[in-house]
Each structure stands twice: as structure tokens, then as C-alpha cells.
């Protein structure tokens, strides 16, 4: 029996045993009757865009912080088989950062960024704490602080409460360590800014959640936050590394309250892909394995199966949907985009500009804003939600392949995807890498579930909106 079949058997068993938990419980005083669960991280600023959108719904939000795979890796065997990332540990990554983040010493901005990064890392040098805990504590502190400040800046009078909890550690490092972004380095200058009230979270244990802006001594059991809700919404806009057996069982127990699962990721089998295949020494993933699903392929696969088994509608925003923020992508363009989408507070803009114009020079894309916008609209008006395209998402539990297609036939999906790839400019750049990928995906053991593809448009002012599917 395959791992996926074992999971489905386990889910069916749990559902029968836990059905008695479906009865409504009274809401805990002061909480919204609605809850959004966000599978977060701080690798990109768009997760914070999602937080700003959630604040407009009146729902409470649980931000589940997930972590890069090097924080649990014990070996340094380098590049793995095609599509399976790299293996290196926290010491390797942090040593590289310490020695190379000052490569551009003539640049005053880079020198200042490294100075602030060093300050933050020195805050977490307590005792014999190793590289893993030092980096994890620093990530938690920066994430919690930014969440607190950004939530506070949202002025919706009906705003709910925002909670932070620790999630899981990814299974795959898609990028090699010289390429991987160091989030603490990118955002350090905000954390060390004396005008920003910092919020360390080192004492927050697994299984507990802390309210952003609430008393630091007041902790809540994470799972009790799911109780007493009329509606729960899940935004799969980051890693699913946190989805262990306890989380699965809890979600099963409240399954009738889960109104929708929103997924950022996947590629369309019938459209030209924007993603690239493996590139030696740089990135090691299949082009059809989008990052959110690649970080923890088995957990992503389990999530799709879990939602389908629980009859939760799955809304998906494929990577093909998300383009760059603007053609020129200047700081003014970024700020204008954030303003147009009504999330352009001071900290959101600061986070965006620190990231997009950092030494890593990433393409400015607002991935998580898309799924959050769809979630917000569905939460506010499910009956008036724009028409979606009914499709099938195919996925596996080893490579994180996630392909959206018209049929349940995986081989037909592969055939169509190959046609699109071979007609794209990406194929001419790396034909050998793509051909190697084709050999792998043709033999993949995949499953599939029904999904609803969400469509978007931008107006002349760069404001995003959800629209009827063509």
C-alpha cells in the first residue's frame, strides 16, 4: 500500500472516530467567529501583503511560521538527484553568510546592512546555542515583530486578532547555500531600529500561540484557536512542513467548519511555464515543482488529499498567473502598487523595498497577495465569488510536482506540459535540463484532486481584482 493510500486510510479512520467533535462550541469571548490559517514564512515580503489583506476581513488569523530545511539538516552532501535540492546544514550556510555578505565592501548600503545583521545575530548568542537555534530564534523574533507592527498599522475597526505559532522545518533546500536568501540579513535594519518595538519569542514553545500585540505572558494552545469557529479558511501560501499527524487530526475534527483552502502554486499544463528547471550548483527543482509545494512534498501531497477527503473546496492560483509588479520595477513602482492595492503602510513599503532591492535582486512578484485577495473575497461573499475554472491538480510526494490540467490523466497532463515547455523560450536556454525532467515526470507516481482555478486582472493603476474565469 502506497504512502498516499495509507494516509487516506488513516484519514477515514480518524474521521469516523472524531465525528463527535463536530458539535458547535461556544465562541471564546473576544474572538472572531472566523479564523484564517496562513502557512507562513518570511522568505519573501508577499506573506506580509497577505497579512494586510486578512486584516480587512474581520477574521482572526493564525500565522504558522515554517523554516528552511538547513535548520534540521545534519549532512553536507551537496547537490542531490535532479529535482531534490541540496543538503547542507546551518553551520555551512551561516559560515558562508558571515564570510560573503560583505563582498561589496565598497557599498555603504551593504556595509550598513551587514552591521545590522551582525547586531541581530549577536542578540542570540546566549550560552552554547548552536547555529540552528540561533538562526531560528532570530527568524522568529523578526517575523513576530514585523507581524505585530504590520497588523497594528492596519486601521480596520473590525480587525480581528493575529496569532503567531511555530510550525515545521522544510524537507528540501531548493537553492544552494551561496544563492539562498538570508531573511535575517534582509530585514535586520527594521529589527534594530530603535523606533520599532521588538518582540523576541524564544520562550514560545511548540503547540502554543502568542497573540501579536497581546501580553507576552499570555499564551494559547494553538489547537484551541480552531475551536468555537463558524468558519475556517486555509491559505497554503507557504510551506506545509507543519502538517504533522496532530495537525491533520485537528483539521479533520473541524472539517465541517473549513469553508475553503486557497493554494498558491502549481503550473498550468496548457500554458507556457514561467518556472525554470534544475541548474547545476544553483537551484535543483523540477520546473513543475513550485516552491510552496517543493519545500515539503509529502506534506503538500497530504494536504491536497486531506482537503479532498474532507470535502473542502480547493481554490488554486497557479504560478502562471503571477507576473512582475511592473515593467520597470523601481521603488516608486513598488510603492504605487502597494498603495493601489490598499496595503501600502510604512512598514509594508519598507519591507518590500528592503527585499526587492537587496543584494539578492529577486524579481518583484506579489505571489501571496493573489491567494489572500481571493480568500478575502470568498470569506466576505462566497455566493458572489467570481466564476472559477474547474480543473484537476496532479501532485506527487517526492518532487513536489504540481500540475493543473483539464483531466485526471497524468500522462495527458505531461504530454500537454511538454508541448508548452518546448514552445517556450526557457526550453531553448536549457533543453538538456528539461529533457531530463521529462524523463522523470513521465514515470512519476501521482495523485489528483479537483480544484477551482481563480482568475485575476490588474487595472491601469495596478490594482488587482478577482474576475470571472474566461
Q: Quick count: other Cβ atoms within 10 Å of Cβ 457?
A: 10
Burial of 214 (0-12, 13-18, 19+ CB in 10 A): middle
What's CA 220's distance to the chain center, in Å? Answer: 23
204 φψ region: left (φ > 0), alpha (ψ -120 to 50), beta (else):
beta
Give per-residue burial for 303-340: e unless 16+ CB within 10 Å, then b: bbbbbbbbebbbbbbbbbbbeebeeebeeebbebbbbb
Contact 199, 148 (CB under 8 A): yes
pTM (2 decimals)? 0.92
User: For residue 180, what pLDDT is reported?
Assistant: 97
Over residues 427-448, the mean pLDDT reads 97
* Beta partners for residue 61, in sequence order: 36, 162
Quickly state the pLDDT bin for 204 (edges 50, 70, 90). Answer: confident
Contact 119, 192 (CB under 8 A): yes
Q: How do residues 316-375 score in pLDDT, each as one tens digit?
A: 999 999 999 988 889 999 999 999 999 999 999 999 999 999 989 999 999 999 999 999
- pLDDT over 90 (residue 445): yes
Q: Where are the domains of the chain?
A: 34-263+286-383
Q: Is 342 helix (H, G, I), strand (E, B) or coil?
A: coil
User: For residue 45, what pLDDT is reported?
Assistant: 96
The pair phi, psi for residue 419, each rounded to 5°, is -60, -45
Q: Cα(first)–Cα(last) distance of the chain, in Å? A: 40
How far apart are the C-alpha atoms of 427 and 253, rounded to whole Å? 46
Helix (H) or strand (E) segment spanning residue 317:
strand 314-317
For the chain, percent of residues with pLDDT exceeding 90: 79
What's CA 12's distance to the chain center, in Å? Answer: 28
- pLDDT over 70 (residue 215): no
How far apart are the C-alpha atoms of 417 and 462, rounded to whole Å? 30
Q: Rounded mean pLDDT of the chain? A: 90
User: Smallest Cα–Cα separation from 450: which of 268, 307, 297, 295?
Assistant: 307
CA distances from 357 to 12, 327, 351, 352, 412 (A): 48, 15, 10, 8, 41
16 vs 163, higher pLDDT:
163
Q: Quick count: other Cβ atoms within 10 Å of Cβ 110?
A: 16
Sole residue written with cell 524523463: 439
- pLDDT over 60 (residue 22): no
Query: Which residues lie closer than 8 Å to 76 by C-beta, 6 or more apart?
Result: 87, 88, 89, 92
Q: Is 157 helix (H, G, I), strand (E, B) or coil?
A: coil
Q: How do residues 61-86 score in pLDDT, each as one tens digit?
A: 999 999 999 999 999 999 999 999 99
Sole residue written with cell 519545500: 295
How far apart are the C-alpha atoms of 242 and 278, rounded to whole Å? 26
User: For residue 25, what pLDDT is reported?
Assistant: 37
Over residues 104-130, the mean pLDDT reads 77
Pairing between β-strand 464-467 and β-strand 402-405 as defined by DSSP bridges: unpaired
3-state helix, strand, coil in the chain (%, to 5): 40, 20, 40
Helix (H) or strand (E) segment spanning residue 346:
helix 346-356
CATH of 34-263+286-383, one of 3.30.460, 3.90.245, 1.25.40, 3.30.43: 3.90.245
User: Smallest Cα–Cα separation from 316: which of 326, 304, 306?
Assistant: 304
Sole residue written with cell 551537496: 78
Sole residue written with cell 462566497: 382
Give per-residue burial for 51-85: e unless 16+ CB within 10 Å, then b: bbbbbbbbbbbbbbbbbbbbbbbeeeeebeebbbb
Query: Which residues lie closer than 8 Å to 448 by C-beta, 6 or more apart?
Result: 392, 393, 394, 395, 408, 410
Query: Which residues lie closer than 8 Å to 98 by C-beta, 6 or more apart?
Result: none
How far apart are the C-alpha atoms of 291 and 169, rounded to whole Å? 14
Amino acid at each position: 500500500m502506497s504512502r498516499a493510500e495509507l494516509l487516506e486510510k488513516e484519514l477515514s479512520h480518524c474521521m469516523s472516530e472524531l465525528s463527535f467533535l463536530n458539535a458547535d462550541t461556544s465562541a471564546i469571548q473576544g474572538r472572531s467567529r472566523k479564523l484564517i490559517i496562513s502557512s507562513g514564512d518570511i522568505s519573501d515580503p508577499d506573506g506580509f501583503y497577505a497579512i494586510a489583506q486578512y486584516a480587512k476581513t474581520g477574521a482572526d488569523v493564525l500565522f504558522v511560521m515554517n523554516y528552511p530545511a538547513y535548520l534540521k539538516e545534519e549532512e553536507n552532501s551537496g547537490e542531490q538527484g535532479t529535482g531534490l535540492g541540496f543538503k547542507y546544514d546551518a553551520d555551512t550556510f551561516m559560515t558562508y553568510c558571515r564570510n560573503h555578505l560583505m563582498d561589496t565592501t565598497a557599498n555603504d548600503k551593504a556595509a550598513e546592512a551587514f552591521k545590522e545583521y551582525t547586531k541581530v545575530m549577536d542578540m542570540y548568542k546566549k550560552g552554547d546555542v548552536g547555529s540552528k537555534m540561533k538562526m531560528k530564534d532570530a527568524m522568529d523574533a523578526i517575523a513576530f515583530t514585523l507581524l505585530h507592527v504590520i497588523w497594528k498599522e492596519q486601521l480596520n475597526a473590525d480587525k480581528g486578532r493575529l496569532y503567531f505559532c511555530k510550525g515545521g522545518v522544510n524537507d528540501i533546500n531548493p537553492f544552494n547555500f551561496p544563492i539562498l536568501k538570508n531573511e535575517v540579513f534582509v530585514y535586520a535594519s527594521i529589527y534594530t531600529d530603535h523606533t520599532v518595538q521588538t518582540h523576541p519569542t524564544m520562550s514560545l514553545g511548540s503547540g502554543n500561540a502568542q497573540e501579536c500585540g497581546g501580553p507576552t505572558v499570555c499564551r494559547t494552545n494553538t489547537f484551541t484557536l480552531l475551536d468555537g469557529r463558524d468558519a475556517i479558511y486555509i491559505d497554503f501560501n507557504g510551506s506545509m512542513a507543519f502538517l504533522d499527524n496532530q495537525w491533520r487530526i485537528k483539521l479533520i475534527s473541524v472539517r465541517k467548519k473549513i469553508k475553503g483552502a486557497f493554494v498558491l502554486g502549481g503550473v498550468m499544463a496548457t500554458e507556457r511555464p514561467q518556472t525554470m528547471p534544475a541548474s547545476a550548483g544553483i537551484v535543483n527543482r523540477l520546473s513543475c515543482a513550485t516552491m510552496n509545494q517543493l519545500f515539503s512534498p509529502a506534506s503538500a501531497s497530504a494536504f491536497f488529499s486531506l482537503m479532498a477527503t474532507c470535502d473542502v473546496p480547493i481554490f488554486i492560483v497557479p504560478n502562471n498567473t503571477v507576473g512582475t509588479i511592473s515593467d520597470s520595477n523601481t521603488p516608486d513602482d513598488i510603492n504605487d502598487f502597494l498603495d493601489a492595492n490598499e496595503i501600502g503602510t510604512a512598514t509594508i513599503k519598507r519591507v518590500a523595498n528592503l527585499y526587492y532591492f537587496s543584494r539578492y535582486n529577486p524579481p518583484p512578484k506579489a505571489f501571496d497577495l493573489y491567494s489572500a485577495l481571493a480568500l478575502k473575497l470568498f470569506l466576505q461573499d462566497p455566493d458572489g465569488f467570481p466564476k472559477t475554472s474547474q480543473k484537476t491538480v496532479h501532485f506527487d510526494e517526492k518532487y513536489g510536482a504540481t500540475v493543473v490540467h483539464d483531466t485526471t490523466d497524468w500522462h495527458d497532463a505531461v504530454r500537454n506540459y511538454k508541448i508548452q515547455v518546448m514552445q517556450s523560450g526557457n526550453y531553448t536556454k536549457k533543453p538538456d535540463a528539461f529533457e531530463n525532467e521529462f524523463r522523470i515526470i513521465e514515470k512519476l507516481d501521482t495523485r489528483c484532486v479537483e480544484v477551482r482555478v481563480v482568475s485575476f486582472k490588474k487595472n491601469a493603476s495596478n490594482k488587482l481584482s478577482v474576475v470571472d474565469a474566461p
